[in-house]
Amino acid sequence: MEQYPVRKIEKPIDWCVTVPGSKSMTNRALLMAALSDGTVTLDGVLFSDDSRHFISSLTALGFDVLVEEEKRRVTVKGEGGTIPKKEAEIDVGSAGTAARFLTAMLALSGGQYEVTSSEQMKGRPMKPLLLALEQLGVEFEYREAPYHFPFYIKGRQEKEVERVDLNIDESSQFLSALLLAGVMCRDGLEIHLTGQRDARSYVEISMKMMKEFGCSMEQVEKD
């Protein structure tokens, strides 16, 4: 067993520590900034493989993004719930949040997009989210295995009633993805949860951040 000697501190030390940002909150904030109406500056951004893929995807979709990594800051010009480029190709890498959140956003946009990923991400679950999006009229063309990356998205057109059933047993990110991207639905989106999993903690992060961005929602508990 290795031992690591720790030198005793003999006098008080005045330290200033910067707590790193959150990957989960960073990617949620990036998506909401892109969908907002106006320019949004995000401070305390965590720069990681996930967030870099998210930022590069937003840039590929035509969003105006200013990255100041040394300041841990990103500025995004929101497009009011629309995507500048109606056709584009993005690579989500191995980023689970980017994969789920961006897929939902692209699917609800009405545009047409090619989405690729790393080999690792190809094996991660996506089917419940994709099935829910198909209920909303989205079409997918799978380049390899059905309900896995890579795929081509033909976004849905507006419908009068936006209601969907969603199973989140495999990942709460499916619900967060639909909640966050649901602001693109003109008349709102009603999500009915199926399955047994209670993923309240991560979903509450999404809902709290949405409220901070000015979004409205209502959670109705089952009897």
Check: CB of residue 112 under 8 Å from CB of residue 155: yes
> Per residue in 153-182, pLDDT tens?
998 876 655 789 999 999 999 999 999 999
57 pLDDT band, cuts 50/70/90, is: very high
**Looking at the predicted structure, is the pLDDT value of residue 223 above 60?**
no
> Per residue in 112-143, pLDDT tens?
999 999 999 999 999 999 999 999 999 999 99
Closest C-alpha among 114, 39, 47 to residue 80 = 39
Closest C-alpha among 94, 88, 112, 110 to residue 181 = 110
- Could you tell me the CA-to-CA distances from 14 to 9, 99, 142 in Å, in that order? 12, 42, 57
Closest C-alpha among 165, 208, 180 to residue 104 = 180
Query: Between 49-60 and 23-35, two packed helices, what is the crossing angle to 10 degrees?
Result: 10
Give the pTM.
0.88
- Give the CA dihedral 109, 115, 121, 127, nearest 10 degrees: 50
- Spatial CB neighbours of 198, under 8 Å, sequence gap ≥ 6: none
Sheet order of strands, 39-43 included: 39-43, 73-77, 64-68
Q: Would you put residue 79 in left (φ > 0), alpha (ψ -120 to 50) or beta?
A: alpha
- Spatial CB neighbours of 34, under 8 Å, sequence gap ≥ 6: 58, 63, 76, 78, 79, 105
